[in-house]
Chain A
Amino acid sequence: MFDLNIEGAELFALPFGDIVPYFSIYSATLAAFVLIFILISAFDHPERQLNIIFGGDAYYEKEIKEDDTRFSRFMAIACGFATLGAVLTGDIFNFTLFAVLVGITNIAIVASAGNRHVLNAAFQYGIVAMIATVPLFGAAAIILATTGTLSIWTLAGMGAVPLLAKALLILGVMGEGIAPLYIGKAEIIRAQGAPFVLMIHFSSLLLFLRVTEIVLVI
């Protein structure tokens, strides 16, 4: 597998039963970024927003208690670890599972904002993330049925995976990683708990990078 262009040299592989997580130069770079962002979301303070009163020069700072952000902080860290799993795993079914986990933690981060408009966006995203499980697991099932294995190591460079499975895999990751679109539309960036929203963008970006690697390798 590591003679393929996209992976780079093999750094480390963990022989963990049938699922062998591996670090190539590509996935190790991604994993390093994920670790940095997990640390950021673990130790970051919530953003304090300023409300400016028009017509005067008064402004006041919104008070955000540490308790309010506990849930979104936890979910941001969970999302980080799910992304780490998706980046490192050497197994297609596990990748789809971690993608679903990223999707559900993304819903949680968005849902922890109390605004009705934001919750509406989270609901819409939840519908898409739910539909996306069908193409994701469908892709894994088709790969297992047509090749008899799910291991990226075994499938690498064989070209045995049908185009349909690859298309479904990309479509599924698109559905799970569509969250930033909702964030941009619902302006969740300005809602309470802003720094943790960062994780949503980051996790979907990494999911896309990883699925690109998988589709090019298998």
Chain B
Amino acid sequence: MIIRRISGILSNFTNLSRVYAILVIIVVLAGIAGIPSLDYKGDRLYPKTIDRNSPLDPYDRGGIPFESTGILAEYPGNSPYLGYITAYLTPLSLALASATPHMGTTIVAHPGGIIDEILYATRGLDTVVETTILFVGFAVAAYLFRRREDE
């Protein structure tokens, strides 16, 4: 009986990851075959333009600090102060940006810059949940490591 064989395979939990991987492969292969039928929507909500000549490249968003910057939002009514601090630089980074052409690279090269990229797309809660996942991962690893010590 085929049902008996299937339940025999599923009864060993080391097989479950294999079964799941096969399911993923089937769906992904079918998906690759179906990709030409998907149409890419260019006018998406979170656009990004890059000015290669700016010292803040690829970080330059334009706009004036504490005034509205041209950022799109899904519901503009929900965030009236959107983009107010997008263009803000501290005096030190302003001096660096005017002295060297590498300020944008410096910003993007550290984790805060990456988080800021996400914040730029007006989606603050994403950043919070992502770092929460990271911290929970650290908590689990620390717990397991310390428990092995006191045994």
A interface, CB within 8 angstroms of B: 15-20, 71, 75, 78, 85, 89, 91, 93-94, 97-98, 100-101, 104-105, 107-108, 111-112, 114, 121, 124, 127-128, 131-132, 134-135, 142, 144-151, 154, 162-164, 167-168, 171, 174-175, 178, 181-182, 185-186
Asked whether, in the complex, the Cβ of B24 is within 8 Å of the Cβ of A108, the reply is: no
Q: A17-B122, A181-B13 are in contact. List 9 more A-B contacts (CB 8 A).
A: A75-B140, A94-B126, A98-B129, A100-B133, A101-B136, A108-B139, A146-B41, A167-B31, A175-B24
Q: A104-B137, A128-B17 are in contact. Are A167 and B132 (CB under 8 A)?
A: no
Asked whether, in the complex, the Cβ of B45 is within 8 Å of the Cβ of A174, the reply is: no
Query: Could you tell me the distance in whole angstroms from the C-beta of B10 to the nearest C-beta in chain A?
Result: 8
> Is chain B's interface secondary structure helix, strand, loop, or mixed overall?
helix
A144 partner residues in chain B, CB cutoff 8 A: 44
Query: Could you tell me the distance in whole angstroms from the C-beta of B64 to the nearest C-beta in chain A?
Result: 22
Asked whether, in the complex, the Cβ of A145 is within 8 Å of the Cβ of B40, the reply is: yes
For B, the interface residue count at a CB cutoff of 8 angstroms equals 46
* A78 CA / B144 CA spacing, docked (Å): 17
Asked whether, in the complex, the Cβ of A97 is within 8 Å of the Cβ of B130, the reply is: yes
B79 nearest in chain A by CB position: A17
Interface residues of B in 63-91 (CB under 8 A from A): 73-75, 77-79
* A149 CA / B40 CA spacing, docked (Å): 12
Q: A17-B73, A105-B136 are in contact. Are A97 and B16 (CB under 8 A)?
A: no
Query: Could you tell me the distance in whole angstroms from the C-beta of A122 to the nearest C-beta in chain B?
Result: 10
Q: A71-B143, A131-B21, A148-B41 are in contact. Are A18 and B73 (CB under 8 A)?
A: yes
Query: Could you tell me the distance in whole angstroms from the C-beta of A182 to the nearest C-beta in chain B?
Result: 6
* A105 CA / B45 CA spacing, docked (Å): 32
B140 partner residues in chain A, CB cutoff 8 A: 75, 104, 107-108, 111
Task: Report 23 cross-chain contacts, Cβ distance below 8 Å, ordered by A residue.
Answer: A15-B75, A15-B77, A15-B78, A19-B126, A20-B78, A93-B123, A100-B133, A101-B129, A101-B133, A104-B136, A104-B137, A107-B140, A111-B144, A127-B17, A128-B17, A131-B17, A148-B41, A148-B43, A148-B44, A148-B45, A162-B37, A162-B38, A164-B34
Asked whether, in the complex, the Cβ of B17 is within 8 Å of the Cβ of A112, the reply is: no
Query: Could you tell me the distance in whole angstroms from the C-beta of A83 to the nearest C-beta in chain B?
Result: 13
Q: How many A-B residue pairs have CB under 8 A?
A: 135
Query: Could you tell me the distance in whole angstroms from the C-beta of A125 to the nearest C-beta in chain B?
Result: 8
* A154 CA / B41 CA spacing, docked (Å): 15
B23 at interface by CB-CB < 8 Å: yes
Asked whether, in the complex, the Cβ of A97 is within 8 Å of the Cβ of B129, the reply is: yes
* A151 CA / B75 CA spacing, docked (Å): 10
Query: Could you tell me the distance in whole angstroms from the C-beta of A183 to the nearest C-beta in chain B?
Result: 10
Q: A149-B45, A154-B74, A162-B34 are in contact. Are A124 and B14 (CB under 8 A)?
A: yes
* A62 CA / B79 CA spacing, docked (Å): 55
> Contact check: which of B41, B43, B78, B143 meets A108 at CB < 8 Å?
B143
* A177 CA / B126 CA spacing, docked (Å): 21
Asked whether, in the complex, the Cβ of A17 is within 8 Å of the Cβ of B123, the reply is: yes
A181 nearest in chain B by CB position: B16
B143 partner residues in chain A, CB cutoff 8 A: 71, 108, 111-112
A175 partner residues in chain B, CB cutoff 8 A: 20, 24
Asked whether, in the complex, the Cβ of B136 is within 8 Å of the Cβ of A121, the reply is: no
A147 partner residues in chain B, CB cutoff 8 A: 41
